[in-house]
Amino acid sequence: MPRGDKGAYTDKQKRQAEHIEEGYEDRGVSKKTAKARAWATVNKETGGGKKSGSGRGKKGNKSSSKKGGKKGGKAAKKSTRKSSKKSSKK
């Protein structure tokens, strides 16, 4: 298999990488960098390719996604709290 070949990845892993890549592009990251980061994230969470012949069977670890989701939720909560305080002061 040539380097960079995504043949060992399942369809689900490919969809995850696409979704993550779109998120990075929405934040203003270049397409090339977004793609690299997306696949790095999929590899970190799932332990690489999951198709047969790829040494599959590793347990996934989604702690980084969970941590990021919590941070994002707190940031959104703070911004809505600030705006509601401003409106109540007037």
Instruction: Give the mean pLDDT per block of 10 residues along the chain (90 residues).
Output: 81 93 93 95 84 65 73 72 62
> Do residues 33 and 78 make contact, with C-beta atoms less than 8 angstroms apart?
no
pLDDT computed for residue 35 by the predictor? 95
> Do residues 55 and 15 make contact, with C-beta atoms less than 8 angstroms apart?
no
User: Tokens for 59?
Assistant: 């347990």
Distance CA 90, CA 73 (A): 27
For tokens 């959104």, the residue is 76
pLDDT computed for residue 87 by the predictor? 62
pLDDT computed for residue 83 by the predictor? 63
Amino acid occupying residue 51: K
pTM for the structure as a whole: 0.62
Amino acid occupying residue 11: D
